[in-house]
């Protein structure tokens, strides 16, 4: 059996850390639903501040998950969309989202009973 410290572990942990940051999942979900402009993301994500949305979009762009396009019009337009790796990540997260929804269903639905000791 391989150690949990093999070559894949740091990469996987880095991915979990990135997607586990507050609002990152919501931003990826909004992008998956077709949000392109900053205001569209803000409208789809209740409670996120402009500063934090901007910060997370920059992080996701740096990670290669979101592509930023500047359209030189007056005023300048900036568009965001999922990069191919971002699309693949959203697709990979769908089963986890479904699992989460199943667990948050009616009380006890889908939950493994805890053992009492």
pLDDT digits (tens, 9 = 90+) for 22-73: 999 999 999 999 999 999 999 999 999 999 999 999 999 999 999 999 999 9
What 3 state SS string does the chain have? CCCCCCCHHHHHHHHHHHHCCCCHHHHHHHHHCCCCCHHHHHHHCCCCCHHHHHHHHHHHHHCCCEEEEEECCCCCEEEEEECHHHHHHHHHHHHHHHHHHHHCCCCCCCCCCCCCC
User: pTM above the 0.85 mark?
Assistant: no
- State mean pLDDT over 7-31: 86
Q: What is the mean pLDDT of the chain?
A: 86
Question: What are the structural domains of the chain?
Answer: 16-103 (1.10.10.10)
Q: Who wins on pLDDT, 78 or 102?
A: 78
């Amino acid at each position: 059996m391989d150690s949990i410290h093999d070559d894949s572990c740091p990469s996987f942990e880095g991915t979990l850390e990135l997607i586990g940051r507050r609002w990152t999942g919501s931003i990826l979900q909004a992008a998956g639903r077709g949000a392109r402009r900053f205001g569209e993301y803000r409208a789809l994500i209740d409670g996120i501040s402009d500063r934090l949305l901007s910060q997370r979009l920059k992080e996701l762009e740096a990670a290669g998950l979101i592509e930023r396009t500047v359209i030189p019009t007056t005023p300048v337009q900036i568009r965001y969309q999922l990069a191919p790796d971002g699309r693949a990540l959203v697709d990979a997260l769908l089963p986890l989202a479904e699992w989460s929804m199943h667990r948050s269903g009616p009380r006890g639905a889908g939950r493994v009973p805890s053992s009492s000791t």
